[in-house]
A and B are shown apart, each in its own frame.
Chain A
């Protein structure tokens, strides 16, 4: 059964299902096609189906770097923005985990007065508009000297990421139950052994999913980064915004847009493998 599933799966799809799949794929991949063409164009005017002049034809004639020459040159700040985005995302994820793991444990297992009110309070940052948070934070951070600093941006990124992370980890803890840990203790495991050998491996899939989600949210935050970075700290979303704010997409803007999608895609590919093989395989496997 398992051996022939690959081929039989697609042939078992009804015509409607196949059509549906193609439409979905078209929606996801479609926008990338003009983007890819535009990134190699020099002059692409309506109604031409393809650019009238390609970037490579003009490359030798222009004294300024065009299209991909600009995107991949230090002038575009793409590399600086990528490093900033990934570094901020990683640090935010680690801090967010450190805050949310203990919090989720308590929320999942303990009962205390005002618990539901507290849970609602935790999700408030998702309800209040980001612009309102941004302006208020900016006023405080200017006084504290945190505006335009990495610390300021990391603190700001924690605000919209913590509610997601707490909710995901709480759900994982609820699914876990105390029985496994108690069982291990009865069999003589120390607290450290319980944490290392029982709790963490069982939590791992949830932790990985939460961490990935947090990282992706952080790498996509524009408004808070824009307010608090004050233009001094460039990340991929702010770089992209400054390029396409004009409403047109030239070759270098198209190139930057393609680069901006890369971290997310790479991460998704890695996580697919990791969650399947590592987490589920070792955590719950035989």
Chain B
């Protein structure tokens, strides 16, 4: 957040004199499509004229890279569009690029990013900077595969991304849940924790055998959020954290998150390598997978509904890995999305790609080849479609879908994530002696700058 904000403001400063311009033809097409005047055949025809689509996505997974080249590229070339899959190291890089180009005065039809795979903070940043194409998702033919009715509770993940309204500016691509795995060779079934109190009891008996990804990585942030939900002093779990910073006072937020953060602070001396003085937090999921495979930790908590099945097929998980329900009642569930930036050079081709990605065919092959859960809603599909998705699943190992659904919890509002992340860094990493109220108040002030 801070890095991209600083970067963006630097660029904005340099480009302050630039005039906002856009390609008139692309702008006319965008307006026609978003107002519902362009029919889908016209979109497909224009996509063929545009010829290519630049998809920016995190390229750290071999499985996903193979799927893009082997499945997505041929499917799109049948539609007369060449896929240019740009593998990036961090999604923020693509967001920075979009913002830099926007601030340099590049409008629709003139940028270089047609589509980004993202969620949470990155989407919130693009939305705040008004750098999204518009409400395209409900207009796609395959939007029928998604629940858009706000009266249906299940539509929440399509309408809100980390509490931020998607407004149709991004289309769901994959659904995930934060699921932990344990190594059955090292942990007896009766010792497997179900609550945060169980986890501490386990670590008191087996110090150093657990760690979580370091915030501000989203996997670390999510673990912290779950601890906060579970220790909510009002017992209302995730509920108050759906509000944005504008709706909740700093003092009130501090009261709600204090018990969770205190728990994490007390847990710290029991984490990996803490006996040697400094606890070790892995930088990302790959590093955590390495620790889990090597038996340095007994548990691996991350977004990974099918992580065990996939990890066994690629050799990145130990053979005895099993999933389990933890923490009871607060297993965060969310989706990740495909967004089209405001300055997409090929808006029609991006729409065609977004539509194909939400098809049953795409979702089933993605699930089968990469283990990434389906992002479309099974109850909206016909019987054959729902069956195709079910058949493609690599399967859960040691837990049932019903148990996961029963313990699901929603994400924290993206604006609160920033505050909680800053508080964690201050209170836990830097061991600040200030009370949590002061730290949260400071984070509020920094955020409003």
A residues lining the B interface (CB < 8 Å):
41-46, 53, 58, 62-66, 70, 73-77, 135, 138-139, 142-143, 147-148, 226, 230-232, 234, 241-243, 245-248, 250-252
Contact = CB atoms under 8 A, between A and B. Distances in A.
Nearest to A135: B10
B267 interface: no
A231 B93 contact: yes
Interface string B82-97: 0010111110011001
A58 B62 CA distance: 16
B63 interface: yes
B86 A139 contact: no
A66 B283 CA distance: 24
A74 B65 CA distance: 10
A86 B90 CA distance: 26
10 closest A-B pairs by beta carbon, nearest first, are: A246-B286, A46-B294, A43-B315, A248-B290, A42-B315, A247-B287, A248-B286, A231-B88, A139-B14, A75-B66
B112 interface: yes
A240 to B, nearest CB: 11
Contacts of A63: 369
Contacts of A241: 89
B100 interface: yes
Contacts of B212: none
A53 B284 contact: no
Given A143-B15, A246-B283, 20 more contacts: A43-B316, A43-B318, A46-B295, A62-B314, A63-B369, A64-B63, A65-B62, A77-B87, A139-B104, A142-B104, A143-B18, A147-B112, A230-B93, A231-B86, A231-B93, A234-B87, A242-B88, A246-B60, A247-B287, A248-B287
B100 A139 contact: yes
A174 B315 CA distance: 59
A58 B60 CA distance: 21
A247 B369 contact: no
B56 A66 contact: no
A160 B284 CA distance: 32
Nearest to B67: A64
Nearest to B111: A142
A77 B66 CA distance: 11
A74 B85 CA distance: 13
Nearest to A229: B86
Contacts of B307: none
Given A42-B315, A75-B70, A252-B62, A231 B287 contact: no
A21 to B, nearest CB: 34
Contacts of A143: 15, 18, 104
Given A46-B294, A75-B69, A75-B70, A242 B15 contact: no
Contact of A75 (B65, B86, B100): B65
A148 B94 CA distance: 12
6 contacts: A65-B62, A139-B11, A139-B15, A232-B54, A242-B59, A247-B284
A34 to B, nearest CB: 14
B379 interface: no
Contacts of B87: 77, 231, 234, 242
Given A45-B295, A247-B282, A230 B97 contact: yes
Nearest to A226: B89
A161 B101 CA distance: 28
Nearest to A242: B89
B320 to A, nearest CB: 11
A199 B287 CA distance: 56
Contact of A250 (B93, B100, B101, B316): B316
Contacts of B289: 248
Given A53-B315, A74-B69, A143-B104, A245 B89 contact: yes
B11 to A, nearest CB: 6
B66 A64 contact: yes
B222 interface: no
A38 B282 CA distance: 21
B369 A58 contact: no
Contacts of B11: 139
Nearest to A239: B87
A70 B287 contact: no
Contact of B315 (A58, A76, A135, A147): A58
Contacts of B10: 135, 139
A103 to B, nearest CB: 30
A226 B86 CA distance: 13
B89 A46 contact: no
Contacts of A75: 62, 65-66, 69-70
A45 B291 CA distance: 9
A65 B66 contact: yes
Most buried by A among B63, B285, B287, B315: B315
Most buried by B among A46, A70, A147, A246: A246
A207 B406 CA distance: 71
B286 A232 contact: no
Nearest to A46: B294
B369 to A, nearest CB: 7
Most buried by A among B112, B282, B285: B112
B293 interface: yes
A119 to B, nearest CB: 30
B313 interface: yes
B88 to A, nearest CB: 5
